Amino acid sequence: MEKIRGFIRNHKAFVMYGLISVFVTVIDVIVCRVLERYIPPVAANTIGVITGFIIQYFLTARHVYKTMSRKSFIIFLLTFFLNLLMADGIVYVFRTFVFGGSDAGMPFLISKGASIVLPFFITYFIRSKVMPKGKD
């Protein structure tokens, strides 16, 4: 238990970023799955990711980076586009090539899961290096 507390203490920003990301991911997945009933998977994924971006920016700007400057928004937006490109590419590859265009639940969950995990780490580490910190 002490190791867990120590990890949280030493990596507070990463833990908070992760918790916010989990919350945003749940919203993203719900939006995406509902919209897939009406529009193509990549379009639904894009709308889910954009919804998540808006929520995540405000939460992480306040609770992780503690800044809401123009520079922080621009960095967040640019890394969001990178994240979106990666996520949509992963969804496209999985749904088109790996699962042959299947609309079933398992292909959805696997492709959505893969489109969340890799971009999450890449985006977090880029943002942690270039995002301004502190109150603006």
The answer to whether 116 and 25 have CB atoms below 8 angstroms apart is: yes
What confidence tens digit (pLDDT) does each residue in 4-42 have?
888 888 888 889 988 998 999 899 889 999 999 999 988
Q: State how far the Cα of 106 lies from the Cα of 99, in Å rounded to an integer.
A: 10
Q: Structure pTM?
A: 0.74
Closest-CA residue to 136 (of 56, 68, 76): 68
| DSSP reduced 3-state for 40 | coil
Q: State how far the Cα of 41 lies from the Cα of 92, in Å rounded to an integer.
A: 8
Q: State how far the Cα of 89 lies from the Cα of 83, in Å rounded to an integer.
A: 10
What confidence tens digit (pLDDT) does each residue in 31-80 have?
999 999 999 988 998 899 899 989 999 998 888 888 888 888 899 899 98
